Structure 1
Amino acid sequence: MSFGSTEMSAALKVSAITDLLDTYASNPAIFDDVVIPQTFTGKKSINFYLTSQYSSEAEIYDYTINCRAATMGESRTIASTVIDTISRENGSNYYIYCEVLGTISPADSLDNFNTPLTATIKLK
């Protein structure tokens, strides 16, 4: 069971978003994981992960989407594009609603700016 991650990944993998990201293994740098692979050497990426518990009664899932980049402006541009592209998105079997959180500064010289979003996906 994907717990909505298949739908979230499909919603994020559209050119409006992927054109802003670096690549990893010939794919857009979008990771369905709580961490970004150590072998990723780019700066602009997205990682997303489930942050709510699963209920079999309602297929509603809450995700965190981290929009990462070398500058705060780039990070916010990625986040803004994600919101403009997927918030209130009606897929063939899902609906998504997003909210932006405050940008997080890099923890050290190896880190990036991160503008996180919360995204609620409801499967139909």
Structure 2
Amino acid sequence: MSLDVLDAFYEAGKDIIVVSGNMDNPGITNAFPSKHVLKIDEVTIGIIHGWGSTFGIRDRIRTEFSDVQVIVYGHTHQAFNQIENGILFFNPGSPTDTRFTKENSIGIIYVQGKNVHGELIVL
């Protein structure tokens, strides 16, 4: 992500939430937090990039949040949409990466009241 891309979203009047990741330039990592929590209707969502090996990533990021129903993460570039121990772990994958994943994807999270589910869309 570059600041130019973010500026384009802001200029278009779009509301966005940004968390920094391990490959972001200092302009991003200095300007944005490594994690964020938001509430939509009755659902609390944690957003984080993630770090380290693919193995155990959900255990690591789970410790960064308390009292969330959803954790959205990236880092692995591998799509994931599954409930574990009462938490929906959602990784939309990557629309462009061909190194770490065989299928490019994006994702959508639907929230209505206290109900939430994710959808992965293979491109």
TM-score w.r.t. length of structure 1: 0.29
Using CA pairs below 8 Å that are at least 6 residues apart, which structure has the higher relative contact order? Answer: 1
**Normalised TM-score (structure 2):** 0.29
